[in-house]
Structure 1
């Protein structure tokens, strides 16, 4: 006895279920027979196939079901026209299924491209965040350097002002000494040995 699968249905599984069920509808067979055939192909139970068809897959193939039923009706009404109608219906159904397959493949490729783009954007975002973090760090370092420069400038400026004050006081003292020197009385010795004050 074959082991029955219990994993999730894939798009390919759904496609097999749709193809077989639509063929059975066109040929005038029962859906139960279709589910048994699909169960054999996919390793699932007929009940699981029937549940999947009615709950999910059938809604996507309403137009194809109507076409298949119309083909079955034509087949039941006339012999030759039924055969040619069946062939035409098969072509239409196959064309419809091919379009669905193409759509699913294109959608799969689009999803893959979007995931790839998402990874690229995430990588770019991470790089930008790292760059911002680096710039913030450099900014903090520059602020610290600026603080040191401002402190050094203030110290030099204070020292400069102090030096100017010292030089100003020294100049004033020199002028005062000169003035005092000039204001000192000057004497000269006379021939007789007496000191005589000399006025300016």
Structure 2
């Protein structure tokens, strides 16, 4: 979608908008398609073009719209481009602003279709944001679990080292108490369920 400009509409832009829409009416196209074409040419959104047409420009070209609809119904071929002198003179002829009137059923259908597409796009964007938020929360949760596991691993390593130190000291003490050639058996130790060493006879 083309980027939205914040500057005001010029007379030339209004004229281009009217020319394109009248051409689409004569050729049996939809106004939504015309809005999209004008939006590409003017670097505006189709919604901005539609708002400008319905709020201001359409009121200035009532006779041109009726003539274009008549041409479409009669099946007359439109000119090759909107730049021919006959079409340009017709479009440039403005009228006094009239009271706003209800759009035709075709126009309402186009507007509703466009609004539905906006709601659909907004819903999809919202769904993606929710999913992204859930993924970020899951990543943070896994990071916390990783830190906890790393801490637990360090604690187990420390406990293991302490245990090995205790066993080594016990073996050393037992070896020192034995007298060479006495035939005395080596003392044996085992650890109880509370982590204490006890001698095994």
TM-score of the aligned structures, taking structure 2 as reference length: 0.45
Higher helix proportion (structure 1 or 2):
1
Q: Specify the structure having the higher radius of gyration (Cα).
A: 1
- Which structure exhibits the higher relative contact order, with contacts defined as CA atoms closer than 8 Å and separated by 6 or more residues? 2
